[in-house]
Structure 1
């Protein structure tokens, strides 16, 4: 019988509970070590696991089979680089890195070291999204619309770095954008940014954005909002012939952020397959670098030399966000 893989988790912030719970539930993993600079965060982790204040000490002493990186965005590069250089497979929270240039460094290192590097786009593992993806497979898609709307202050979990553009990378485009853009890539493949409108607050944080995209003959839009009263995460696909399919990522999951439990369980299931070599382990698995490049293209598009914004995107962001649809893809 194949022994469980020894997993270490670095970064015990708002997202780590989902990884820790999934690692304990899945038979293919054994949680062996955690790391955080904060002693109080380490003390909150139950069970007989090794605890470290420095990730380099963890890599040297715990010698895990794989590493989850769940730290602020600006620390992804050095931490992932150290793990890959040590030959340890990495599953890193989105975004892969703070910039596309940093992402290329990590992808190149993973390729040269032949070590799996996976970006955890957890929304592609959502049950409703997977059902929609199956129903659209092989069919002609006319358009895709993704809405990713929330009030960010309700989701911080004490992690104020989200509201620091230097650490987050910008705001909703840099942090939520990769998840939403990955959903479009899941359905359409390679994408081109065709327009973008962004509204920022007085601190330079993106609070709202609409990104226009094209994938082959299909068009797409991604709507992001960090000032939305409540939460709405959904996906709408129009097929040739006029049929419209929808996936509500929150439907059927009662409780705040309850949908994340099954999504992160699926993330670690696929990560285990990558580590064991059971599925192709191309560097930057699931398009971590591609998402960063789309994010940077969106930022460039939102700052044209003329200072104007393409009218369709500007009008879209000016409209009040629609209420979530109760409809969902049939299971």
Structure 2
């Protein structure tokens, strides 16, 4: 097959650097254009990459005719971006959460499914080394309880990276629940299957006093199995630095993940297996990029789609309701 022409829209999103290096290193991929509502950002990036650029997504798509689009940008703008791509029948991957409320995302998912569109979402823990380690040692059905604490840097990292809109719930949809916890909410659906429900939720903004929550604790339940998801914008640190501890109780195993690479698995006989594997989301975006482009080329469905995003957003919205926050 020939070179795949890829465009990036909403390029000012702070996650761009999780995708771009892989796009640039693949020999059968060419980044043909970038766009952003901020013309300065689009222009500087386009000049650096030596490709077309625009402050209009429509104009960029019309002039570059890409084979695939990576869609980023403000959460509030994502439904419009997805509509443009669906109208033009361009396969795409869109950053979560693909909108600011569950209704928006469900409408997009229903349309994409009805039209047979390739619409991927980077729920990268589905392709993670951590999940591989778990499944090599016990079945999903063996898992009884999970507790994931994943605390990221302070909200200053969003303003510092030019994405201050993340702190406006009208533009972002919320704080750490919709931005961080959603990964684990999707993982609960993967591990537990349906149905998954929100059993309890507590949220607060007391650490920084902003309009979005900076701390979130959500308990998910499927039958008698539970998943505690704790996230926050609390650690004085830059992007991709975390305070984390993941614990998983399976039928005869207990797994503990701490830091970025350290995993212990306690086996049925009490023996402890020490592993060095990537535990967080950041190292798995290159895996996602390679896989999603291969699938788009081959006509295979993505690992996670807008339908999965809509199901996760239903749970996110219910968590907000239980946490006393109205999000649509």
Q: TM-score range by the shorter chain?
A: 0.7 to 0.9
Deviations 1:7-33 (A, max 9, x none): 111122211122111111233422111
Indicate if the aligned counterparts of 1:12 and 1:35 stay in contact, CA closer than 8 A.
yes
1:6 deviates by: 1.1
Indicate if the aligned counterparts of 2:141 and 2:192 stay in contact, CA closer than 8 A.
no
Deviates more, 1:281-290 or 1:58-67: 281-290
Which residues in structure 2 correspond to 1:55-74 (within 5 Å)? 55-74=57-76
Alignment correspondent of 1:232: 243
Give the number of aligned pairs: 298
1:248 deviates by: 4.3
Alignment correspondent of 1:170: 174
TM-score (norm 2): 0.82
TM-score (norm 1): 0.82
Indicate if the aligned counterparts of 1:92 and 1:120 stay in contact, CA closer than 8 A.
yes
1:284 deviates by: 2.9
| Aligned-partner Cα distance in 2 for 1:210–1:110 | 32
| Aligned-partner Cα distance in 2 for 1:211–1:193 | 7
Deviations 1:269-313 (A, max 9, x none): 221133124533598357111111110010111239xxxxxxxxx
Runs of 5+ consecutive residues of structure 2 not aligned to the other structure: 263-278
Residues 249, 103 of structure 1: CA spacing in aligned structure 2 closer, same or farther, 3 A cutoff?
Answer: farther
Indicate if the aligned counterparts of 1:129 and 1:247 stay in contact, CA closer than 8 A.
no
| Aligned-partner Cα distance in 2 for 1:135–1:19 | 30
Alignment correspondent of 2:314: 293
Alignment correspondent of 1:3: 2
| Aligned-partner Cα distance in 2 for 1:194–1:249 | 28
Residues 219, 259 of structure 1: CA spacing in aligned structure 2 closer, same or farther, 3 A cutoff?
Answer: closer
Pairwise CA RMSD: 2.6
| Aligned-partner Cα distance in 1 for 2:184–2:69 | 24
Alignment correspondent of 2:265: none
| Aligned-partner Cα distance in 2 for 1:229–1:184 | 28
Indicate if the aligned counterparts of 1:107 and 1:283 stay in contact, CA closer than 8 A.
no
Alignment correspondent of 1:24: 24
Of 203, 217, 227, which aligns to 1:198?
203
Alignment correspondent of 1:307: none
Residues 154, 203 of structure 1: CA spacing in aligned structure 2 closer, same or farther, 3 A cutoff?
Answer: closer
What SS does structure 2 have at the residue aligned with 1:155? helix
1:205 deviates by: 1.3
What SS does structure 2 have at the residue aligned with 1:74? helix
Residues 117, 171 of structure 1: CA spacing in aligned structure 2 closer, same or farther, 3 A cutoff?
Answer: same
Indicate if the aligned counterparts of 1:28 and 1:272 stay in contact, CA closer than 8 A.
no
Over 6 Å off, 4+ runs:
none
| Aligned-partner Cα distance in 1 for 2:139–2:98 | 27
| Aligned-partner Cα distance in 1 for 2:173–2:18 | 23
Runs of 5+ consecutive residues of structure 1 not aligned to the other structure: 253-257, 305-331
Residues 139, 106 of structure 1: CA spacing in aligned structure 2 closer, same or farther, 3 A cutoff?
Answer: closer
Alignment correspondent of 2:192: 188
